[in-house]
Amino acid sequence: MTDLILLFASSFIAATIFPAGSEVVLATLNIAGDHDKFLLLTIATAGNVLGALVNWFIGYYLIKFKDKKWFPLKKKQLKKYSGIYQKWGVWSLLLAWLPFIGDPLTVMAGIFKTNIWLFLLLVTIGKASRYLFIISIF
């Protein structure tokens, strides 16, 4: 049971703005063969999607401070990212599982007020696909 909690926690943390990887935990548990593959897929996906949802909320509420000096994006950058995200944003969420790219994508989705249900659908498809791939090769 503690190994499943570890899988959930590593998947959750890996999807937030903190650098972490959950693939090794998933592959190790899958290779050990002590748990059903579908259970591992479900737990890893749930943790990772919930972590991405935290990022969405961070973005959703962070934009309210865009006029503060400490805000990480300048107005010009925000306008640039807005244009890019409006062109590719929603569909780019299918790539939210990518290292270095996925976390900012999910934050930007919150900033640009992407519909939360569409966000959850696309992020879940992408993240579940990645974990399914890992399970299938290990």
Q: How confident is the model at residue 104 (pLDDT cuts 50, 70, 90)?
A: confident
The 3-state DSSP class for residue 74 equals coil
Q: What's the domain count of the chain?
A: 1
User: Which range of residues forms the domain containing residue 70?
Assistant: 2-137
Sign of the torsion formed by the C-alpha atoms of 34, 39, 43 and 44: positive
pTM of the model: 0.89
The burial class, CB within 10 Å (0-12 / 13-18 / 19+), for 111 is buried
Give the chain's count of helices (H) and strands (E).
6, 0
Tens digits of per-residue pLDDT, 29-80? 999 999 999 999 999 999 999 999 999 999 999 889 988 888 877 788 777 7
